[in-house]
Structure 1
Amino acid sequence: MAKAKKLPSPCIDVCKFRREGHCIGCSMTKTQKKMFKSLKRVDHQHAFVDMLVHQQSDMGKYGHWTPAYLKKLAKKGIAPPFEV
């Protein structure tokens, strides 16, 4: 069984914190960005990205994130942690 690769950060390099402290690019807060960096287990990273996708859905206006993150994953040869 192949070892799962670590996920890259959900950050898509926009980093503008408006929307009540959430980034307009990825929806993470500064605290969430630090939290993701501290996650060592791949299953925890997958759970974090799943939470983030739901957060984006709840907040709305994050349709641009999925294609940008999928491109980032493809460059690294990593399968998406969510259904597209």
Structure 2
Amino acid sequence: MAKAKKLPSPCIDVCKFRREGHCIGCSMTKAQKKMFKSLKKPQHQHAFVEMLAHQQSDMGKYSHWTQAYLKKCAKKGVTPPVGP
């Protein structure tokens, strides 16, 4: 059986922490970035990305992230847990 491809990090390589410690590119804090790296199970990674999408929605001004993350997932050949 083929191994499932790993979900890429929600980071979109902006990494500027300005909004009360949240990155202006992906909305993650430094602690959240570290946490995502520690998640090994695909269902945990997917749940994290879904939580992050809700966080971005609550904070506002992250509409650019979805397209960037979908492109990153497509490049890696992975089905993303979020859609446009």
Q: TM-score range by the shorter chain?
A: over 0.9
Query: What's the % identity of the aligned pairs?
Result: 83
Instruction: Report the TM-score, using the length of structure 2 for normalisation.
Output: 0.94
Query: Alpha-carbon deviation of 1:6?
Result: 1.4
Instruction: Report the TM-score, using the length of structure 1 for normalisation.
Output: 0.94
Instruction: Provide the rounded CA distance (Å) in 2 between the counterparts of 1:8 and 1:31.
Output: 17
Instruction: Provide the rounded CA distance (Å) in 1 between the counterparts of 2:76 and 2:8.
Output: 8
Partner of 2:78: 78
Unaligned runs of 5+ in 2: none
Query: Alpha-carbon deviation of 1:61?
Result: 0.1
Query: Alpha-carbon deviation of 1:70?
Result: 0.5
Partner of 2:59: 59
Instruction: Provide the rounded CA distance (Å) in 2 between the counterparts of 1:25 and 1:61.
Output: 10
- Aligned to 1:18, the other structure's residue is in SS state strand
Partner of 2:24: 24
Unaligned runs of 5+ in 1: none
1:6 aligned partner, one-letter code:
K
Q: Alignment length, in residue pairs?
A: 84
Bigger drift between 2-11 and 38-47 goes to 2-11
Query: Alpha-carbon deviation of 1:83?
Result: 3.2
Query: Alpha-carbon deviation of 1:2?
Result: 5.5
Retained in 2: the 8 A contact 1:5–1:42? no
